[in-house]
Structure 1
């Protein structure tokens, strides 16, 4: 197993993202497995931004803070990150940077760009230099440049890549990867693709980082996919639009982050009591209030599981990686449709923005239920008829000869408002019956590690990759045996595997990106299982596998 880790840093506006994007695609085209994350500030210009690109010959599921190479666009990048650079690593930068680090490889980018005829090709010069430093060929670079550079500027950018390539000598040996046939996709794009595959017809949202990328991805494909993408005036309008579209028969979804979800909660209750299918994604960021708009956190779990007044069935699914994001998004639409209830997807900035190499998706793996808008009964149509499953026949108003009545007030079987104590109890019981069927569909958490473990780690959502890597590191570096359970379906909480593994464990450690250990609280509430220790991080930056292992062992593992 061989891999490298590259950091590209600079101020906002210096081209960090563009340079990173070209390198990510270049490494992927060469056959490497790629995992890339971004760290950026919420400023239009200024501030320190960087990208981490990890690539190698085996599956990579998380980022690393141990660096093989730094591309420094400014002096701050060297100052901030040089202590994480391996002794064998390099710092690639322009000759104007002040660093005297012996690992620095300085090239005259300003002069080279001037000779090519455009100072903005400096990023392409760096791309060429990096490919040479890692002993890569330029076989794929022209094809990759076409995805990021306008056609009129291709010749000069090709020349810039070659100039950078010829300006340095190789630093690391070439390694061979076999992932050229895979996809390189972000969690955000995977959610959008999953929604399209599920039959999405209407998406409404108000822009809010870090969820906006879903709306942008869907809007870019809206004509081909025949989807209406509506930018609403606020989150209240967005969720009500989605509910209205679903009521009218369209497969619908809305998306936001925690602050926007706070505005959606009353309408979530409308979906619950009116029994209208709804899929909502909350791409989490640190709160409360505005919090850290461009950072990551897992602090909305307990909020979304009980959001809105009253009691009604809902499902919460935490997305663990890009592949999981695709299939679980499809499944969310299936469950929302069949159970006529809201399904909430939990993602976060880390998962949403991270790029990873995955196998091609198979939309046939999950077949979301198609709306059954039919009623063959001989008696009067009852929108909220009592049934054993709690699920009543659904019709679309105006699309049949039956009268369809719904209400946000408590109602009887027909849909008429009622204050009857008996009917109220019957209707609550009817809606809650849906959970009985849902419990049978819950997917147990992923189990990772040694079957004969003594220490069990617990996590959910995007902590999947770091926890997987942490378990591998711990099992390689200690005599104790470790394993992890990482939840996707998280409310209702699947408990069979959890109880089985908890009984085996000598110690249980909870790992989350929040300050209060929300998963641990949920597990204790649902199972009475008490967690021994927790590793919690809530500074807006994602835990790495190395960091988790180091905290458990009390020392570095690399």
Structure 2
């Protein structure tokens, strides 16, 4: 069943503070006891271009956005031009009275609220940028939303800027709410707060993953800015001093991954965040980490490619690239969180997997998942569940007791060699990007080569049982199974709800090694439809490669924008001919 929700969209030019306004309104909604999902949409430029923030509000948990807009806050006429077609019947447009909406953009079933936003912001607050606050106040007045929760967010967000800024925003907010009262009585959409609202979080994927990585012991991060991956680097830089993290903004991506590998060899849990184009420059060093057996974590927030592609948009085009990146063969983990909660949990688990198996662990996100804000319960980020598993790591006592020379790449039954942090006199070792012996010296002997390749590959024996199995949502015996991975979790889950028992979802958050129980689960599905944000059906290809199972159809999207549940439902009806 389609949930009953209300969507507010605020639009204007880059530099107008749309994301901070939208996220702030979302935080206020959550403080009022409701659920919200927020997503910014922006061009890759500092000023100009059309940007907007979509905020969806409901009484139950939300997992994606929809385009049925009930209130459009237009900070310029371009916003009206672009989004009028998304308005539901009975919707309202709040716009600056200094702007004139052309007749061809007006609709008979839409209410128009001209408010002197810029003028009032200057007169009451002393700064025209406060027009955003005034507009949020007007939207709140229309919805009947109690502004005390917006006031609390204003006090929190602007406390560092002084009392005058706080007071100015509060007065502007009140004036915006008053401006809506002439129209509020006839406006058909309302948002009612919850008595004694519970405390919940409203965070985005970048914050959740960063918290998980920090909780998992990440204490070194190096990167070169590349949207949408670099916000993780920014987050760590902002919190580095507080938590004892070394955060390095380096000259390029090659330096970034090499520094992270170096730190991991010294026993520090290390990570490099990037996006697809940046990771392309890290491919050779990924192979270096493979032959070094260095436990480094690589985070890739995907965006459309190839080349520069679309820097601020979303796509799932890098899965097979990450799976087979670097020449030669060596083991790796490839994880694909599908939600804010999963980003947190796999954020810390990636470090355990990297150290337990002494190999790179890769985490695939994308712009939609990284930038999207969602309401979650505080306990969903379960810090008490975080564990530290460092694998076969020798301490000083172990090294003191050695009676034979230390062999960093010892050919063990498990393939996992004892790891020692440099500095102890009994743990002197070297390594190389060339094939090497157990001690780490360059060695081209064919027998040694075979032994070392087998040793590295043997490490992953049984690892398909330690990564998360695919999750199932919806009725077990549904007619159709929607098979997806990563960020398509949210829209696909909502599509399953809309379909009222006709479909379920099988979601993959681990791609390499391929989960041990996946084949049996897929075989039970009556009709398999892959749902992916790419043009070639990469998950479908991976499933066929690993299991021999073919999907019965695909719903693919690659326009740089995320799925909506409505899109999946509509295309599913075409694919299945329901």
TM-score if structure 2 supplies the norm length? 0.92
* C-alpha distance in 1 between matches for 2:454 and 2:390: 26
Asked if the contact 2:299/2:362 (under 8 Å) is kept, the reply is yes
SS at match of 2:180: coil
Query: Per the alignment, in what secondary structure is the counterpart of residue 325 of structure 2?
Result: coil
Deviation at 1:456, TM superposition (A): 1.1
Q: 1:353 to 1:179 in 2, by over 3 A?
A: farther
Q: Quote the offset at 1:495 in angstroms.
A: 4.7
CA contact (8 A) 1:56 1:175 kept: no
> What SS class does the counterpart of residue 121 from structure 1 fall into?
helix
Aligned pair 1:536/2:556, yes or no?
yes
Q: Structure 2: how far apart are the matches of 1:9 and 1:19?
A: 10
Structure 1 residues 88, 400: closer, same or farther in 2, change over 3 A? Answer: farther
Show structure 1 runs of 5+ residues with no match.
none
How far does residue 96 in structure 1 lie from its aligned partner after superposition?
Answer: 2.8
Kindly indicate whether the alpha-carbon contact (under 8 Å) linking 2:334 and 2:510 is maintained by their aligned counterparts in 1.
yes
How many angstroms apart in 2 are the aligned matches of 1:521 and 1:268? 23
2:87 pairs with one of 57, 60, 85:
85
Question: Which residue of 1 is the match for residue 168 of structure 2?
Answer: 156
- The residue that corresponds to 2:214 in the other structure is 196
Q: How does 1:111-510 map to 2 (within 5 A)?
A: 111-116=119-124, 117-149=126-158, 150-151=161-162, 152-169=164-181, 170=184, 171=187, 172-177=189-194, 180-360=198-378, 361-370=381-390, 372-374=393-395, 375=398, 376-475=401-500, 481-496=502-517, 498-510=518-530
CA distance in 1, matches of 2:516, 2:79: 46
Which residue number corresponds to residue 32 of structure 1? Answer: 34
* Distance change in 2, residues 1:192/1:179 (3 Å): farther
Distance 1:14 1:197, change over 3 A: same
Q: How far apart are 1:59 and its partner, in Å?
A: 0.5
Measured in 2, the distance between the counterparts of 1:499 and 1:55 equals 38
When the two structures are aligned, how many residues end up with a matched partner?
550
Runs of 5+ consecutive residues of structure 2 not aligned to the other structure: none
Secondary structure of 2:554 counterpart:
strand
Residues 126-147 of structure 1, C-alpha deviations (whole Å, 9 max, x = no match) = 1211111111122223321133
- Is the CA contact 1:2–1:175 (under 8 Å) kept in the aligned structure 2? no
Q: Which moved more, 1:245-254 or 1:234-243?
A: 245-254
Deviation at 1:554, TM superposition (A): 4.4
Do residues 520 (structure 1) and 529 (structure 2) align?
Answer: no
Give the distance between the partners of 1:548 and 1:412, measured in 2 at CA: 53
Pairing of 1:28-107 with structure 2 (within 5 A): 28-99=30-101, 100-101=106-107, 102-107=110-115
Spell out, residue by residue over 1:247-298, the C-alpha distance to the aligned partner (whole angstroms, 9 max, x if none).
1111111111001101111111111111111100011000011000110000
Matches of 1:378 and 1:32, distance apart in 2:
64
> Contact 2:25–2:150 (CA<8 Å) still a contact in 1?
no
Q: CA deviation at 1:206?
A: 0.4
Cα contact 2:304–2:310 (8 A) shared by 1: yes
Q: 1:487-508 CA deviation, whole Å, 9 max, x = no partner?
A: 0011111152x33343333321
State the secondary structure of the residue aligned to 2:495. helix
Q: Distance in 2 between matches of 1:225 and 1:495?
A: 37
Residue 449 of structure 1 deviates from its aligned partner by: 1.2
Q: What are the Cα deviations for residues 140-187 of structure 1, in whole angstroms up to 9, with x where unaligned?
A: 233211333322311111110010011112333332458641211110
State the alpha-carbon separation in 2 of the partners of residues 309 and 343 from structure 1: 17
What is the rounded CA distance, in whole Å, between the counterparts of 2:426 and 2:312 in structure 1?
50
Tell me how far 1:364 sits from its aligned partner: 2.2
State the secondary structure of the residue aligned to 2:281: helix
Q: Distance in 2 between matches of 1:418 and 1:514?
A: 42
The offset of 1:121, in angstroms, is 1.7
Determine helix, strand or coil for the equivalent of 1:147. Answer: helix
Shift of 1:400: 4.3
Q: Is the 8 A contact 1:33 1:179 kept in 2?
A: no
How far does residue 45 in structure 1 lie from its aligned partner after superposition?
1.5
Q: Secondary structure at the match of 1:543?
A: coil
Supply the RMSD in Å over aligned alpha carbons.
Answer: 1.7
The answer to which of 280-289 and 174-183 deviates more is: 174-183
